[in-house]
Amino acid sequence: MKAIARPTNSSWRIPLLVVFLTSTVLLGLLLFSPYGDDFYIFIVAPILFTLLFTFLITAASSREARLVFAGLLTFAGVLAASWILLINQNVLRPELRWFFRSRHYKAALLSQPNKANGLLHFEWDHSGFAPTGYNTVYLVYDPSDSLAPAAGNEQRHKLNGIPCEVPMIHRLERQWYVVKFYTDERWGDCPSTR
């Protein structure tokens, strides 16, 4: 009678390493590109899940319970980590970019000539393409911190200093905000308010 192999500590190492590497790749894609999620979903994930599926079939045909367990654990871990990171990308992307490059962004924005009307801002991020339209996100410096009450609320905002009505304001730190505009609207061009 053949004994069933019990999972050991080594059964956890490979799945954890694969989940960690997959999460790191996805976070890197989110950090460096507004299209990182698309690249991950349409290129990286299909390749990765094809490899994992092939590994599972091979492990099942060899009847190694330990390998099947490791494969299933890896598959579940990668799926869970990918899902968690992708559904939270709207918060993760700005926070990661701010964490790694805030000094650069602050210097670039504060070096702009003082604007008497409005808040200091520059285009910080964008996404989209021709058929669906472009989405623009601005980094905004608000010395009076007047945007604080609107930050985090999931509703339309029409605020002093911002020419358009905006769907999202995210606070990075005191006086520093990310403001997302509606599709095909820019700081000086607000078709929805005409």
Examine the domain organization and report whether 142 and 180 are in the same domain: yes
Are 43 and 72 members of one domain?
yes
Q: Give yes or no: residues 81 and 31 share one domain.
A: yes
35-68 pLDDT, tens per residue?
Answer: 888 999 999 999 999 999 999 899 889 888 888 8
Q: Which domain holds residue 66?
A: 10-87
**How many domains is the chain built from?**
2
Same domain, 180 and 127: yes
Residue 1 falls inside a structural domain: no
Going by their DSSP bridges, the two strands 176-180 and 168-173 should be labelled as antiparallel
pLDDT tens digits, one per residue of 177-193:
999 888 888 888 877 65
Identify the domain boundary among 31, 53, 87.
87
pLDDT score recorded for residue 19: 94
Same domain, 16 and 60: yes
Q: What is the pLDDT of residues 79-138, one digit of tens each?
A: 999 999 999 988 898 999 999 999 999 999 988 887 655 688 899 988 877 777 788 899
Say what the pLDDT of residue 164 is: 85
Domain-terminating residue out of 40, 61, 87: 87
Strand order in the sheet with 120-129: 120-129, 133-141, 176-180, 168-173
The CA distances from residue 77 to 7, 52, 58, 81, 96, in Å, are 16, 11, 19, 6, 22
Using the predicted structure, report yes or no on whether residue 157 has a pLDDT greater than 90.
no
Same domain, 78 and 143: no
End residue of a domain, out of 41, 61, 87: 87
Instruction: Tell me: do 189 and 117 sit in the same domain.
Output: yes
pLDDT at 24 over 90: yes
Q: Which of 94-103, 148-157, 163-172 has the lowest mean pLDDT?
A: 148-157
> What is the pLDDT at residue 193?
59
Indicate if 113 and 73 belong to the same structural domain: no
Residues 6+ apart with CB under 8 A from 193: 158, 163, 164, 165
In 3D space, the residue among 160, 71, 84 whose CA is nearest the CA of residue 119 turns out to be 160
Report pLDDT for 59.
87
pLDDT reported for residue 6: 54
What is the model's pLDDT at position 105? Answer: 93
Task: Indicate whether 189 and 121 sit together in one domain.
Answer: yes
Question: What is the per-residue pLDDT for 75?
Answer: 93
For residue 66 the two structure tokens come to: 């330990």
